[in-house]
Amino acid sequence: MILTCPSCGTRYQSAEAQFKPPGRNVRCAKCRHVWFQPTPELETAIEPEPVISPAVPETAPVAALNFGAKTDAPDVVEDVEPPPQSRGAAFAQSVGWLALLVLLGSIGWASIAFRETIASVWPPSASLYSLLGMPVNVRGVALTNISYKQEYESGQPVLSVTGKIVNVSDREQPVPEIRVVLMDDAKRELYHWTFDAGVPTLKPGAETPFTTRLSSPPADARNLNVRFAEAGDSR
């Protein structure tokens, strides 16, 4: 095969077997220019040039290329390296994959960190978060420290229920009514009532206590359920 220096036009004769895919860098023994020479199979088809015999004089002399070991001779074929264009494309592809991973990671973090906000805007997502073991409080307020005790006043039993309402969100939330349900051993409802906690809203992180009392509760009452009232609950 014939190699032609793209800088000074000097031509060289070399064995094709020395150029394994994808090719290798070649340095001109005359002008020291280095270029990437692909294997013959990868080169674009061009009209073949006449093979120049070393015995025939040329304007630029035919120089033999020394492949392999490093020597002091000027005609050295350098170690194979990918062309600069290939390295640039690989770098760009790596940067693209890294950017995609960062984007996906950011979306995943945001979907967890702001799940309550997401659930408030799109309520069906609350069920998905629950399946993933991350229950979401769509209301933004929660009932805590629920306790009850039964006392006697004027010989009559009185059930007293106490607790706290806490704003667990990052914005001010309305405080809904609270519903108390009394049930027997079989969890059948015996009695219920609904009451207002006394505050219309709570700021982020704020809390307020509540107390509700019921005179002469059902004698069969064994279980107590305290929750926020729903729109369809009966009074």
Q: pLDDT averaged over the chain?
A: 79
Rounded Cα–Cα distance for residues 219 and 150 (Å): 11
Q: Is residue 128 part of a domain?
A: no
Helices (H), 57-151: 84-113, 115-121, 125-131
Question: How many domains does the chain fold into?
Answer: 2
Domain-located, residue 115:
no
Q: Which residue has the higher pLDDT, 47 or 204?
A: 204
Give the mean pLDDT of 95-117. 83
Same domain membership, residue 224 and residue 149: yes
Residue where a domain terminates, one of 30, 55, 81? 81
- Judgement on whether residues 1 and 69 belong to the same structural domain of the protein: yes
> Which of 57, 81, 105 is where one domain is finished?
81
Residue 177 lies in a domain: yes
In terms of residue numbers, what domain contains 217? 141-228
Phi–psi pair at 215, nearest 5 degrees: -85, 145
Residue 194 β-bridge partners: 179
Q: DSSP class of residue 148?
A: E
Of residues 180 and 63, which shows the higher confidence score? Answer: 180
Q: Do residues 36 and 52 make contact, with C-beta atoms less than 8 angstroms apart?
A: no
Closest CA to 138 of 159, 166, 118, 119: 119
Same domain, 75 and 147: no
What is the strand order of the sheet 178-183 is part of? 189-195, 178-183, 223-228
- Residue-wise pLDDT for 31-56, tens only, equals 888 888 888 764 444 455 554 444 33
Return the pLDDT at 222: 92
- 40 assigned to some structural domain: yes
- 233: in domain: no
98 in any annotated domain: no
Q: Tell me, what's the pLDDT at 86?
A: 61
Last residue of a domain, which of 33, 60, 81? Answer: 81
Classify 2 as helix, strand or coil: strand
Q: For the ranges 42-56, 148-162, 179-193, 202-216, which has the lowest average pLDDT? A: 42-56
- Any domain includes 235: no
Compute the CA torsion angle 48, 62, 41, 19 (nearest 10 deg): 170
> Domain with 181 in it: what CATH number?
2.60.40.10
Question: Is there a domain that residue 97 lies in?
Answer: no
